[in-house]
Amino acid sequence: MTTTSFTKKTLGLETSEPAVTPPSAAHQTNFVKKPRLASPKSKKRDIPEGLWTKCPKCGTMVFDKELDENLKVCNHCQHHFPIGARERIHSMVETCTFEEMDASMTSVDVLCFTGAASYRSKLEKNQASTGLKDAVITGICKIGDYRVALGVMDFKFLGGSMGSVVGEKLTRLIEQATEKTLPLIIVSSSGGARMYEGMFSLMQMAKTCAALAYHARARLPYLSVLTDPTTAGVMASYASVGDLIIAEPGAMIGFAGPRVIKDTTSAELPPGFQTAEFLLEHGLIDAIVPRKEMKPRLISYLGYLNNGRK
Ligand SMILES: [Zn+2]
């Protein structure tokens, strides 16, 4: 068997040892495999980590600082990257007006659930990595001239899943809104009910919707904002019962995933299935609003819906 070795250096790629061009697959041996790692490693060195993010839609490398200044929206193709709950609240409410509610409420591992890792350890890990206690932040704030009850979910915390804390915090928020005659805005971003809490997470669907029914009975407006992704138990409860349902561009919105539906129905799914744009066309949502226009648009909707109350 013959092996070939080269001492040629690739321009711009300074490696400690000479780069070796691997021979064709027919001539491959263990001996020539190792040096192949040299060139991708040195390429990576050119891009410092945490400074650039590749846009999944247009493939452009976007400068992180630029992305932050642009509310995590790609300047080239307007792709909406995920944004944290605190950042979103900061982008929507008037400065220093957000009074957080139930900030220290945390989940209890009622079922002592253990899968690949225990629920308790997953909670601790997510609390440490996100700085959040659970997947939603709630509070009373001002948006424009309007006092509003606002709940914002964070997908980074266990996929924005709805457990008993998300359900309870939102229910308390809705009840506060009813009591104080405030309009309500909930920004959803969720993979659905939290399986680690079993039935306790499923009953949050009924609980939040019951509180919303009282809010609606008081003739107070509820604006539901759907972001990428809003699915399953959350979409099947409070996210889909807004007086106005608004979505961010390109958001994936649905109940079961497209693959499950395709397998169950054995039918070809239409193009754009379960995107905000598809659902606007089919009447499930009322408007698609880019992130940067969200605040002025919410203020204008509140003007229509809030009977002149400020
Ligand atoms: Zn892009």
How far does residue 294's CA lie from ligand 1's centre (Å)? 19
How far does residue 73's CA lie from ligand 1's centre (Å)? 8
pTM of the predicted protein model: 0.82
How far does residue 291's CA lie from ligand 1's centre (Å)? 15
Q: What does the alpha-carbon distance between residue 291 and residue 180 come to, in Å, rounded to a whole number?
A: 28
How far does residue 78's CA lie from ligand 1's centre (Å)? 6
Model pLDDT, residue 267:
87
Model pLDDT, residue 275:
92
Model pLDDT, residue 259:
85
Model pLDDT, residue 36:
57
How far does residue 156's CA lie from ligand 1's centre (Å)? 21
How far does residue 61's CA lie from ligand 1's centre (Å)? 8
Q: What does the alpha-carbon distance between residue 44 and residue 48 come to, in Å, rounded to a whole number?
A: 8
Q: What does the alpha-carbon distance between residue 227 and residue 191 come to, in Å, rounded to a whole number?
A: 11
Model pLDDT, residue 46:
57
Model pLDDT, residue 306:
79
How far does residue 122's CA lie from ligand 1's centre (Å)? 32
How far does residue 57's CA lie from ligand 1's centre (Å)? 5
Closest by Cα among 101, 189, 215 to 150: 101
How far does residue 52's CA lie from ligand 1's centre (Å)? 12
How far does residue 79's CA lie from ligand 1's centre (Å)? 5
Q: What does the alpha-carbon distance between residue 79 and residue 77 come to, in Å, rounded to a whole number?
A: 6
Locate the DSSP E strands across the chain: 52-54, 61-63, 99-101, 136-143, 146-153, 184-190, 222-230, 244-247, 287-288
Q: Is the distance from CB of 176 to CB of 218 less than 8 angstroms?
A: no
Residues (pLDDT < 50) of the chain are: 1-20, 22-23, 25-29, 38-39, 41-43
How far does residue 62's CA lie from ligand 1's centre (Å)? 8
Structure tokens of 130?
């996100």
Q: Is the distance from CB of 256 to CB of 297 less than 8 angstroms?
A: no
Model pLDDT, residue 74:
95
Q: Which residue, chain included where needed, has tokens 């945490």? A: 50
Model pLDDT, residue 256:
86
How far does residue 68's CA lie from ligand 1's centre (Å)? 14
Q: What does the alpha-carbon distance between residue 141 and residue 147 come to, in Å, rounded to a whole number?
A: 6
How far does residue 53's CA lie from ligand 1's centre (Å)? 10
